[in-house]
Amino acid sequence: MLRPMSSETASRSKFRIRIWVAGLFAMLCLSIIVARLWVLQVDRHDGLVQRADSNRTAFVPIVPRRGNIVDRNGEVLARNQLNYTLEVMPVQVKRLDKTLSELTEVVNLSDYEIRRFKRKLQDSSRYANVVLRNNLNDVEAAWFASQAFRFPGVNLKGRWVRDYPQGETTAHLVGYISRISENDLDKLENMGQTGNYRGTDVIGKKGVEKTYEQLLHGLTGSESIEVTAKGRMVRSLNRNDPSAGKDLVLTIDLRLQRIAEQAFEGQRGALVAIDPSNGEILAFVSRPAFDPNLFVDGIDVESWRQLNESEDFPLVNRPLYGTYPIGSTYKPFVALAALELKKRSAKEIIYDPGYFDLGKQRYRNSGSTVYGAIDMHRALVVSSDTYFYSLATLIPIDELHDFMAQFGFGQMTDIDLDGEKAGVLPSKDWKRKAFKRREDQSWYQGETVSSLVGQGYNSFTLLQLAQATAVLANLGVLRQPHIARAIKDARTGEVVPITTKPPKTLSLNPANIKVVRDAMVEVTKLGTARQAFEGVLYDVAGKTGTAQLFSLKGGKYNSKTVDERLRDHSLFMGFAPAQNPKIALAVLVENAGWGGAVAAPIARKVFDAWVLPSTSDQAVLLQPSLGTKP
């Protein structure tokens, strides 16, 4: 054991020498650095301080004006307003407390503002402007400007602040801008846009403010300026002008939007109205709404808590994020499927005893009404569930899925708004993927039964229903729904229309569509929606719906005993005029019960407002009592 030990010791002592060499080398190098520091910081200190003090050019970004957002008639939905801010550059102020106390004689400063200012002061560079007060009015700004010479280092700055003059109206589609977050910064960095956002502290967060952020924001310019050692500007050396953001023209009609929102009368729900001839969204309602102006300067905690914790979910964009079973409003499409897939002819008579038996399971009509012998037309007009239940043995779920997918059910519409949900259009394949447990993965025919009346796993956005309704109105042409109409250059006045995906024509037999449409017209004359459309001056094709949220389990539904939030949703879909449609819409009122009673009257008001020729007539027609013929 002696030899290896001695060899080990020898190698150890060799290693020790090398560690010493390395250590000494490191210390030598660090000494060189200390010597160099001495040269720079002691010997050459005076000269270099002078160099630092004469460093005089600084680059400042020039923020572009954000584009306005207007409706199809030029009504302003979002604009910029000049807002005055009082800022302080700490390094330029000699005695801060004296300045602040003198300043309170000139402008109003609350204790809260002073405290906030002092807190910010500790966290910022001595050369950065720190905000003392926001939102000075014109009088205060003018008053300060006349006294400004007394307050060196206190600067009045005008800045553009986003303003949404319509408030809650259009809140969900216009969206809002707010402070740039860390997340936004990461995204900007990935897009190589950080430079373009220098000097900007807000960014589009929701709605078209987000989807068209790039266009609305514009290009940031820059200016190199000569500054004194303390950062005060002397003169401009070189300027690179910013280019303002583009204005955005939406497809929305503000007047129609207002009428639609008011028609909800404080109830929760959603409405989407589309011009079937081009896919333009005419009205886009999500109730309740919120005031987007709250978000512009960063929302305060209390307002945020109220909005975020409200049981009514005012922040949720219902037509896009809300996926619902659409109930009987699905039936026109199912009827068309039966005709197109040649599963049942329109004339075939089915006997409706008020229920349909599949194996041991009995499926009842709502209210257990007995309709007797009915054909397809009659089944749609009275909304017989049994007629559609009985298609379950004829149309396999996958065939139904493929037919409905053409209309865009269960798929993104690719509308130019963010955060759209796809919903669910069930099929065997979908069920296999959606469920984890093997025994849940197979499809049962009973599930087809409920799918055929728009219940079961079906879950669509209201936008999808409106789009599908527009396809029916169009005799089978699908046009991409969109909310932006054109981009306008405010300086040159040049207008560039927004391009959308080319229309897609579904191969449908016009005779079949006519069967369904005629039945839908009769729905509004003699059927479930006849009260809402009493005395209407043009033909309306429509269908009511009532979507069940509450599973009855054999019990009888009684709207009075069921918890309000679990009551049925009230729906209506339709288009007008029936022969030459100018508008197609879908409307849903949450927990409002029967479709004919609540949703259809809202649709009536919107149709009247859009289809009838002049505004004076509509003013009369908007009243519950009927107007005279124009």
Asked if residue 421 lies in contact with residue 461, where contact means CB atoms within 8 angstroms, the answer is yes
Using the structure block, give the residue that is written with the tokens 């190098």: 29
Residue 10 or 148: the one with the smaller Cβ distance to other proteins is: 10
Q: Does 229 bind other proteins (CB under 8 A)?
A: yes
Q: How far is the CB of 24 from other proteins (least distance, A)?
A: 10
Q: How far is the CB of 21 from other proteins (least distance, A)?
A: 8
SS (H, E, C) 181-223: CHHHHHHHHHCCCCHHHCCCCEEECCHHHHHCHHHHHCECEEE
Residue 43 or 494: the one with the smaller Cβ distance to other proteins is: 43
Q: How far is the CB of 496 from other proteins (least distance, A)?
A: 32
Q: How far apart are CA 416 and CA 400, in angstroms?
A: 28
Size of the site for other proteins (CB under 8 A): 45
Q: How far is the CB of 542 from other proteins (least distance, A)?
A: 49
- 186, exposed or middle or buried, with CB in 10 Å at 0-12, 13-18, 19+? exposed
Which listed residue (111, 123, 311, 564) binds other proteins by CB under 8 A?
Answer: 123
Query: Token pair for residue 179?
Result: 């402070």
Residue 34 or 237: the one with the smaller Cβ distance to other proteins is: 34
Q: How far apart are CA 199 and CA 222, in angstroms?
A: 10
Q: Does 15 bind other proteins (CB under 8 A)?
A: yes
Residue 191 or 619: the one with the smaller Cβ distance to other proteins is: 191
Q: Does 231 bind other proteins (CB under 8 A)?
A: yes
Q: How far apart are CA 24 and CA 236, in angstroms?
A: 53
Candidates 391, 543, 539, 520; CA nearest to 465 is: 543
**From 25-33, 440-448, 555-563, 616-624, span contacting other proteins (CB under 8 A):** 25-33
Q: How far is CA 575 from the centre of its chain?
A: 25
Q: Does 19 bind other proteins (CB under 8 A)?
A: yes
DSSP 11-28: HHHHHHHHHHHHHHHHHH
Q: Does 22 bind other proteins (CB under 8 A)?
A: yes
Angle between helices 331-340 and 510-525 (to 10 degrees): 150
What's the CA angle centered on 89, arms 88 and 91, to 5 degrees?
135
To the nearest 10°, the Cα dihedral for 617, 618, 622, 628? 30
Q: How far apart are CA 146 and CA 134, in angstroms?
A: 19
Q: How far is the CB of 54 from other proteins (least distance, A)?
A: 10
Q: Does 444 bind other proteins (CB under 8 A)?
A: no
Instruction: List the interface residues with other proteins, window 593-622 (CB under 8 A).
Output: none
Residue 236 or 616: the one with the smaller Cβ distance to other proteins is: 236
Q: Does 362 bind other proteins (CB under 8 A)?
A: no
Q: Does 124 bind other proteins (CB under 8 A)?
A: yes
Instruction: List the interface residues with other proteins, window 26-65 (CB under 8 A).
Output: 26-27, 29-30, 32-34, 36-38, 40-42, 44-45, 47-49, 51-53, 55, 58-59
Candidates 569, 404, 567, 586; CA nearest to 478 is: 404
Instruction: List the interface residues with other proteins, window 539-568 (CB under 8 A).
Output: none
Catalytic residues: 328
285: left (phi over 0), alpha (psi -120 to 50) or beta: beta
Instruction: List the interface residues with other proteins, window 136-195 (CB under 8 A).
Output: 182, 185
Q: Which residues bind other proteins (CB under 8 A)?
A: 7, 11, 14-16, 18-19, 22-23, 26-27, 29-30, 32-34, 36-38, 40-42, 44-45, 47-49, 51-53, 55, 58-59, 91, 123-128, 182, 185, 227, 229, 231
